[in-house]
Amino acid sequence: MQFQGPQMLEFQEKGDERGHLIVCEGGQDVPFDIKRIFYIYGSAPGIARGQHANRETEFVIINVAGSSKVKVEDGKGNEAVFTLNRPRTGVYIPRMIWKEMYDFSENSVLLCLASEHYKPDEYIRNYEDFLRIVREGDSEV
């Protein structure tokens, strides 16, 4: 499963009168093997999270409760804003995309599926550095 660029994903919803079930399987519903899972909650509406790019890690981000927005930029002038407000949708974010999550509802729980284990040195946390790296075409710097 290969994806080109950030995009909205729709997961199959199953359920009956007892409730709903969403399954996200690595390599099938998610375009990578899942190596790390984390979630963000308790962020106020005026708080921005993320604000970084990753040299190696791909993500799928799902608001399993509440809502939030995800802004993505590729450093080449392309950007998009995704609204996550249904637990059966998520955003796929490939490597080397600047991401910012914001506008969290009070009850927001933002689930993040990652393709890699956490490695602090693969994070690009300065936007100007990100733009320079994209311009130079060198994600290893």
Give me the residue label for tokens 């506008």: 103
Q: Is 52 a known active-site residue?
A: yes
Residue 135 DSSP one-character state: H
Can you list the positions of beta strands (E) in 3-45?
A: 7-10, 13-16, 19-22, 36-41
Catalytic-labelled residue, pool 52, 69, 86, 88: 52
The sign of the dihedral angle between the CA atoms of 34, 139, 94, 51 is positive
Structure tokens at 130: 């990100």
Catalytic positions are 52
